[in-house]
Amino acid sequence: MNRAAQSLESAASLVGVLAGLAAYLATLTRSGDAGARYLLTAAVLVVLGMPVSLVLAHRLIREQQQTDEVVARLARELTAAAAVADREAAEREVQAHRQRFESRLANALDMAEESPRSSR
């Protein structure tokens, strides 16, 4: 089970526990009018859920910052790799240009060597 599924499962369990606790506290506090008890249950659930929500929000922000750092590092590495690839491609192009020049020069020298022999 991955981390996100575990977090979701934990959060669902926690909400269930908090809802049960809120209903229990509302029943202890308000017996009688069911409508008022439901409203009190909702209010208690909000009060109990607020610290949990804040902790979860803090955790999500921290994880997002870590993810952002990883993405930034990977972007820097990719930029560096692209720069290396560009530099190597330029070096290969210079080398290919040099090889073409050397080949043409060698051909010209061969032709120059053969030319005086054939005219004799």
Give the per-residue pLDDT at 17: 84
Which letter, b or e, does each residue of 52-77 get, where b requires 16 or more Cβ atoms within 10 Å of its Cβ? eeeeeeeeeeeeeeeeeeeeeeeeee
The domain locations on the chain are 3-119
pLDDT in 10s for each residue of the chain, 120 residues: 677 677 777 777 887 888 888 888 888 776 677 777 788 888 888 888 888 888 888 988 999 999 999 999 999 999 999 999 999 999 999 999 999 999 999 999 888 888 765 554
Give the per-residue pLDDT at 73: 98
Return d(Cα 43, Cα 26) in angstroms, integer: 9
Which pTM was predicted? Answer: 0.54
Return d(Cα 86, Cα 81) in angstroms, integer: 9
